[in-house]
Amino acid sequence: MKQIRTVKGTHDILPKDTPKWHLLESIIHDVCAKFGYKEIRTPIFENTNLFLRGVGAETDIVSKEMYTWEDKDSTSLTLRPELTASVVRSYIQHSLGNQSPIQKLYYIGSLFRRERPQKGRQRQFHQFGVEAFGSGFPEQEAEIIAIAWHILVKCGLSKQITLELNSIGSQKCRLQYRQALREFFSPHLTELSETSQKRLNDNPLRILDSKNELEISLVKDAPKISEYYSKEDDSHFNDVKIFLKEIGIPFIINSRLVRGLDYYTKTVFEFTSVDLGSQNAILGGGRYDGLVEKLGGKPTPGIGFAAGMERFLIAIEENKPKFEIQPPDIYFICLDESGIKISHKIANKLRENGYRVICDMLRKSMKAQFREANKLAAKYVLILGEDELKNHTVELKNLDNGNQKNIKQKNIIEFFSNLKN
Ligand code: HAM
């Protein structure tokens, strides 16, 4: 019969790899807690309108990459392609802004985009991200970027990443800039790709991050958005740069950085990594002061970022290849069928007291069970044979030095806790 395999662009995360995920997740939880951010979890699918309105109907993510279907009651539903819109929906739905003027949230979850799979690009992938609501001040940018920086440093990645920073100004500034770009590119219309010709009308800013050689050379002479900043845009962005310098986070200004989602305003940023090839964006984000209002909430400033966890793990592995699965503390060898229940009872007590204990499930021979204990690199084996059963004891063997000791079953927890102290 034909084997059923994973769908294109999706991957199993096998037991040999889960320790890396646990490590990354524990770093995320730890750093976010240090900054006072609380975890939020939202559903995997949402009403399609959330992404049409939130992310923008013309963006690649929404127009080309969403997994959308009509439910039995004719509602259009979509597997979430990103999490900012979902978090904003939840923020409005649960009136989180009434609980505190500042809401600081983070998340870890899987997302779905129907992209062409390649290294660092899947159709189901995982992101962690943070979103902060309520502050329009530049210190909020500094805090959000500092969280990203701390996580990157803890993952050992600070040397191979670059923080690219830009401001795409306020809405008024972008309206004028869009018009300037239209005027600049119009005489070159025939030189532009089909996608860019379409973008010239809808969102000419996206032509700036084109990967097409000819367009890259055209863009070099295009007007710069900084020429259109209002006084406030300019001073806000300057303050962001000063904050980052003050807290010691290195960055470069990339005036072509515009990001592919429609909700951004003012500061945008990306961390790129040399280890990732063409999909080099490991983390991206920015300010989205109009999004809460656009999705039906009160006008509320917001800013955040999200990072591709698979991309993080690729970059970590390039630099620090050792992630070890924790070996068991104890391998329990039971040699007598009548002792299996007792061995499980003792093993569970040990686990309740914090020890990692493995029991044989195949009723194998003593030799085979010893082999397994060595293979798993257990520190101790406990043996329950006929004599031990009769005497209510267990035989303990230290696999590091071969020392053996007979211990009363009722004293076993005490014995191990004395070893610890
Ligand atoms: P994004 O740039 O679309 O932003 O995605 C953020 C990160 O997710 C990327 O930098 C990349 O590491 C990862 N990523 C994106 N697509 C894929 C894929 N197909 N396979 C693997 N990794 C991928 C957002 O999603 C915004 N919601 C970020 C944000 C939060 N802005 C403000 N708050």
CA distances from 357 to 43, 184, 324, 413 (A): 35, 69, 17, 13
The answer to whether 306 and 83 have CB atoms below 8 angstroms apart is: yes
Alpha-helical (H) ranges within 359-411 are 366-375, 386-391
* Candidate from 8, 66, 82 with most ligand 1 atoms within 8 A of CB, to mutate: 82
Comparing C-alpha atoms, which of 299, 232, 234, 247 is closest to residue 143?
247
Amino acid in position 48: T
Q: Tell me if 269 sits within 8 A of 163, measured CB to CB.
A: yes
195-237: pLDDT as tens digits = 888 888 888 998 998 888 888 888 889 999 999 999 999 999 9
pLDDT at 324: 64
Note the pLDDT of residue 321: 54
Burial 268-278 (b: 16+ CB within 10 A, else e): bbbbbbebbee
Q: Check: CB of residue 370 under 8 Å from CB of residue 333.
A: yes
Q: Is 89 in the pocket of ligand 1 (CB under 6 A)?
A: no
Strands, sheet with 357-359, edge to edge from the N-terminal-most edge strand: 357-359, 330-334, 380-384, 393-398, 404-408
Residues of the chain scoring pLDDT < 50: none
Q: 138 in ligand 1 pocket by Cβ < 6 Å?
A: no
Phi then psi for 5, rounded to 5 degrees? -120, 170
- pLDDT on residue 227: 94
Reported as a single tens digit per residue, the pLDDT across 278-300 is 889 999 999 999 999 999 999 99
CA–centroid distance, 259 to ligand 1, in Å, is 10
What global pTM score does this model have?
Answer: 0.89
pLDDT for res 323: 60
Residue 84: CB within 6 Å of ligand 1?
yes
55 token code pair:
């992310």
- The reported pLDDT for the residue numbered 104 is 97
- The token pair that represents 70 in the structure block: 């009509």
Ligand 1 close to Cβ of residue 281 (< 6 A)? yes
Strands 267-273 and 281-287: antiparallel
Q: Does the Cβ of 286 fall within 6 Å of ligand 1?
A: yes
* Ligand 1 atom nearest to 307, measured from its CA: 7
CB of 204 within 6 A of ligand 1: the answer is: no
* Beta carbon of 51 within 6 Å of any ligand 1 atom: no
Which residues, 6+ apart, have CB-to-CB distance to 245 below 8 Å?
Answer: none
